[in-house]
Amino acid sequence: MFLRNILRFLFVILIQVFVLNQIQFSGYINPYYYIIFILLLPIKTPAWLGMGLAFLLGFTIDIFSQSPGIHTASSVFIAFIRPSIILSLKTSSEINKDLEPNMGNMGVKWFISYTIIMIILHHTLYFFIEVFSFTSFINTIYRILISSIVTFITIIVAQLLTYNKIQK
Amino acid sequence: MRNLLNFLWKNYAIFLFLILETIAFSMVMSSGHQGAVFSYASNQWGGKAFSSYQSIHQYFKLSETNEQLVSENIYLRSQLKQSYLKRDHNSFDDIVIKSETIKPDSIVFYYDTTSLTFEYINATVISNSVNKQQNYLMLNKGYQQGIRENMGVISSQGGVGIVYAVSDDFCTIISLLNTKTNISAKLFSSNELGSLKWDGRNPQIAHLTSIETYIPIHTGDSVVSSGFSHIFPEGVLLGTIKDFYIEASENTYTIEVLLSTKFSQLNQVTIIRNRFYEEQIELERRKAYVP
């Protein structure tokens, strides 16, 4: 479990920095796939560890995308809010806390709603910090929506690839 | 006391969250020339990683790069003295003029070829983005190669940006596609001054401001650098006018400029050094102290 998360940490950084950041779709589409690492941390991960890892992950992505502090702030935020979202989506008695909340363990429907909430929270914070004003409000909302959809697709596709393995 | 410690322990997550967010936001706020620590780290570490990635990536772009270089070569060749038609000026009319003291073509611009004002070196783009509000590029040349802040960067297609932060081996360019960038530009046809700004939306369109409405302009006019900021030489192509309109109760145009540089495909760029930059800026600074 431990090793697996370390490998995933490195993997999402590589994918984000060297693949997704390099593809310049248009001015509006910026998928931030790396947050899948925060989504898939085991449920029992203590708050300090979750936020610490999110800080480290966000800071690394910031270093490589020359956006000082923006990814860090939004990653730490979703890591902080994550336990409450997991609890609110399902009562705590139903959850086996040793598991990681992926599609296979939690069910497709649960995972999709969990992912959507986390992505929207992260992207809203990210794009508003990036613009740092409410002047181009509609434009920012548009960027958030488009990018959230693409991030969602990348995360679901990544899950489906591993989900099949679990089923076999 | 014990209650307080207990309270802190129970709610440690909130305090940790606040501390981490404070650190993150202090990084967000310090993103100026003052945020030197972050930009140096980002430059030097990011640069190392990207340059090895880029060497692979570049291999696949070789043919495209070649094409660009060939077209630029052709353009430069057309600028050579030998490419211009040599006209034989000796005609009967000349005999009349020669008898006078002033010849019509006796005005010669004197170029001092021993000391160039603008010097050029090439660099490779190792990281780039077009989809943020503040876009930056990173190049594989740094302090050790003589790169300093506020040098201009152009590509074979036109203006790209200005050097913003320099580390030992790499430098960061603040792209034209950055809402903080403001470049002194002019219309090629009428020499009318304005400034070029990007609004953070379409990565191909920038806006030229402060051109007054009595000046005739046309779609397709070239927008070039003015040379007044001492960063770019005069006449570097920035883009062409795509569309323009006058908003109610305004006496300047809103001009949409189609940028000539395709930022998403940048690979090879040229860094411009103005040998007299310090001197010119120092002189400009001095006029601020005039009583």
Please spell the DSSP secondary structure of A92-138, one letter per residue.
GGG--TTS---HHHH-HHHHHHHHHHHHHHHHHHHHHHHH-SSTTHH
Task: Determine the 3-state secondary structure of B83 from DSSP.
Answer: helix
Q: In angstroms, how far is the first alpha carbon of chain A from the final one?
A: 20
What is the H or E stretch that residue B43 is in? Answer: helix B36-60
- Res B252: pLDDT: 87
B57: left (phi over 0), alpha (psi -120 to 50) or beta: alpha
In this complex, do A55 and B24 lie within 8 Å of one another by their Cβ atoms?
yes
Chain A environment of B26 (Cβ under 8 Å): 69
- Res A39: pLDDT: 92
Give the model confidence (pLDDT) of B12-30 as tens digits: 888 889 999 998 888 888 7
Determine contact: A134 vs chain B, CB below 8 A: no
- Is a pLDDT exceeding 50 seen at residue A165? yes
Q: Report d(CA B221, CA B230) in Å as an integer.
A: 23
Q: What is the average pLDDT across B148-173?
A: 90
Determine contact: A63 vs chain B, CB below 8 A: yes
pLDDT, chain B, mean:
79
- pTM for the whole structure: 0.70
Dihedral, B12, B14, B16, B18 alpha carbons, nearest 10: -150
Determine contact: A58 vs chain B, CB below 8 A: yes
Q: Report d(CA B188, CA B175) in Å as an integer.
A: 22
What is the H or E stretch that residue B195 is in? Answer: strand B193-197
The amino acid that residue B223 corresponds to is: V
In this complex, do A48 and B46 lie within 8 Å of one another by their Cβ atoms?
no
Task: Determine the 3-state secondary structure of B262 from DSSP.
Answer: coil
Residue A129: which of B28, B42, B53 has the nearest Cβ?
B28
CA atoms within 13 A on the CB side of A26: 10
Among A29-33, B116-120, B273-277, name the one with the lowest average pLDDT.
B116-120
CB B165 within 8 A of CB B171: yes
| Residue B110 CB partners (closer than 8 Å, separation 6+) | none
Q: Which residues of B touch A (CB under 8 A)?
A: 12-13, 16-17, 20-21, 23-31, 35, 38-39, 41-42, 45-46, 49-50, 53, 57, 127-134, 136, 138, 172, 199-203, 263-264
In this complex, do A67 and B203 lie within 8 Å of one another by their Cβ atoms?
no
- Res B152: pLDDT: 92
- Res A25: pLDDT: 64
Give the model confidence (pLDDT) of A95-140 as tens digits: 677 778 888 788 888 889 999 999 999 999 999 988 877 777 888 8
- Is a pLDDT exceeding 80 seen at residue B33? no
Write the CA distances from A103 to A114, A115, A147, B229, integer angstroms.
10, 10, 21, 56
CB B131 within 8 A of CB B165: no
Domain ranges of chain A: 2-8+31-163
- Res A38: pLDDT: 93
In this complex, do B27 and A68 lie within 8 Å of one another by their Cβ atoms?
yes
- Res B85: pLDDT: 52
In this complex, do B27 and A62 lie within 8 Å of one another by their Cβ atoms?
yes
**Sign of the CA dihedral with B136 first, then B137, B142, and B148 last:** negative
Distance from CA of B201 to the nearest CA of A (A): 6
Domain ranges of chain B: 35-77+93-291
- Res A102: pLDDT: 80
How many A×B Cβ pairs under 8 Å?
108
Task: Determine the 3-state secondary structure of A143 from DSSP.
Answer: helix
Determine contact: A55 vs chain B, CB below 8 A: yes
- CATH superfamily of this structure's domain B35-77+93-291: Rod shape-determining protein MreC, domain 2 (2.40.10.350)
